[in-house]
Structure 1
Amino acid sequence: MTSSPPPTRIRKMPEERRAEIVHTAARIALEEGLERITLRRVADELGVRPGLIGHYFPAADDLVSEAFAYAASKERASLLPDEEIGLAPVDRLARFLARLTDGEYVDLGRLWLNARHVSRFKPGLRAAVRAQEALTRDALTVLVDKGVHAGEFTTEDPLGVALHILVNVDGLGAYTNDDVPFDHPALHDMAIATAERLLGLPGGTLRARG
């Protein structure tokens, strides 16, 4: 009786393997927290040896930083998707805020809260958090500025408006770790109401268009 040869393991290209590692680490971060990312944990998830993960990320902190940056970039792309660039700025802003407040971004809210805390002790993660904050802040500032030039928004300080909105959203994120979250109708529309007030929009405009 002839035994079957063992299955051949397919060797992945370096770029593919690295992307797989980062994607897996980002999933762990979203589901369990950045502290749970270790070379061994990611290796176990992928069914490989920890040494393979260490080949791409000799220091676990580097993997933590890149996993956060990956998750934050995916978040920004889903909140302000490229396919909506042709929409009126008021509609893009409305969709951005509606998505942030519809409850589907709870895990990402927890991740940002987690990253800001952990980054106090990890310089690499701190740099990644600052870089992602800047990218999101710039994208929202550009959107507000376009709305001003299109005559849809009224403000002399697009960056200031962007900061008000983002700090408001971050503040609401502080509630995401509650097992039984405090709830009030004002929380759901707080960021939206802030944006409408600062941009000279009638109350309810953004919620209706979002």
Structure 2
Amino acid sequence: MTSRGSGKRVRKAPAERREEIVAAAALVGLTEGLECVTLRRVADELEVRPGLVGHYFPAADTLVAEAFTAATLQELDALLPPAGSRQDGAAADPVAVLRRFFALTGSADFDNVSRLWLNARHLSRYRPALREHVVAQELLWCRRIEEIITAGTGSGSLTCADPSTAALRVLVAIDGASAYINTSADRRGAVPGRLAAALAEAELGLVPGTLAAAEAEDRADGPGEAGD
């Protein structure tokens, strides 16, 4: 690693530099925990002086909050792309979208994000700025799931009288399973990982097992291991 401050520092536009700082902080949060998102740690990651990071984020709590949002939003866009960005027919099929979603959230690729959510919810008790971001992301994730369910009920592939409530229940099931994320894989078993998909099948009028397993290509097209 090059020592901080050595050589000629590259000047970047303020917006670009700020985005770079948030991205580095998001990576630290994903791989090491939000407690490790400090001005000095992010500066080390970028090989710059802490003062530069402090110039954009005088309060470390603000950087922690934005790092959380950046990491979880990037993952959400990979798991459930916004409706306008889904182009091909398979991606437009609500059942296929949900099958892929549950396959990915139930895989080891999602572990770092699960840990991040668990970490953020704990810290948000003491950090108001982070709490606001956690609430905003919860609403966004729930809305994205609701959009898929609404599309499915409109096309007739799903049956649901209240997509908003169903989406919230699905998200609660995912969060409940994620509470076991720090339990060793051999003791975790398949039940927590299958919980959200099984609940969704019951909520959406699907035959049990419909959302159980995605095709191999669904996994291949999904996000890489969180934090890569």
- Alignment gaps of 5+ in structure 2: 1-5, 216-228
User: Is the Cα–Cα contact under 8 Å of residues 98 and 207 in structure 1 kept in the other structure?
Assistant: yes
| Percent of residue pairs bearing the same amino acid type | 48
Partner of 2:193: 188
- The Cα of 1:208 is off from its aligned counterpart by 4.5
User: Is the Cα–Cα contact under 8 Å of residues 103 and 213 in structure 2 kept in the other structure?
Assistant: no
Q: How many residues align?
A: 205
- The Cα of 1:180 is off from its aligned counterpart by 5.6
Partner of 1:198: 203
For the residue of structure 1 that corresponds to 2:180, the secondary structure is: coil
Which whole-Å deviations, capped at 9, do the CAs of 1:38-92 have from their partners, x for residues lacking one?
1111112212111111110010000000000000100100101255355211111
Partner of 1:40: 40
Partner of 2:64: 64
Q: Are 1:105 and 2:107 an aligned pair?
A: no
Query: 1:44 & 1:150 partners in 2: Cα distance?
Result: 51
Q: Are 1:153 and 2:158 an aligned pair?
A: yes
After superposition, the Cα gap between the structure-2 partners of 1:173 and 1:195, relative to the gap in structure 1 and judged at 3 Å, is same
User: Is the Cα–Cα contact under 8 Å of residues 84 and 92 in structure 1 kept in the other structure?
Assistant: no
Partner of 1:3: none
For the residue of structure 1 that corresponds to 2:159, the secondary structure is: coil
Query: 1:51 & 1:93 partners in 2: Cα distance?
Result: 45
Structure 1 segments (4+ residues) deviating >6 Å = none
Alignment of 1:1-210 (within 5 A): 7-82=7-82, 83-84=85-86, 86=88, 87-179=92-184, 182-209=187-214
User: Is the Cα–Cα contact under 8 Å of residues 38 and 60 in structure 2 kept in the other structure?
Assistant: yes
User: Is the Cα–Cα contact under 8 Å of residues 23 and 67 in structure 2 kept in the other structure?
Assistant: yes
User: Is the Cα–Cα contact under 8 Å of residues 177 and 193 in structure 2 kept in the other structure?
Assistant: no
TM-score (norm 2): 0.85
For the residue of structure 2 that corresponds to 1:178, the secondary structure is: coil
- The Cα of 1:17 is off from its aligned counterpart by 1.1
Partner of 2:223: none
- The Cα of 1:207 is off from its aligned counterpart by 2.3
Give the letter aligned to residue 118 of structure 1.
L
Query: 1:169 & 1:24 partners in 2: Cα distance?
Result: 27
TM-score (norm 1): 0.92
User: Is the Cα–Cα contact under 8 Å of residues 65 and 128 in structure 1 kept in the other structure?
Assistant: yes
- The Cα of 1:186 is off from its aligned counterpart by 2.3
Give the letter aligned to residue 23 of structure 1.
A
- The Cα of 1:159 is off from its aligned counterpart by 1.0
Give the letter aligned to residue 104 of structure 1.
D
Query: 2:50 & 2:213 partners in 1: Cα distance?
Result: 50
- The Cα of 1:20 is off from its aligned counterpart by 1.1
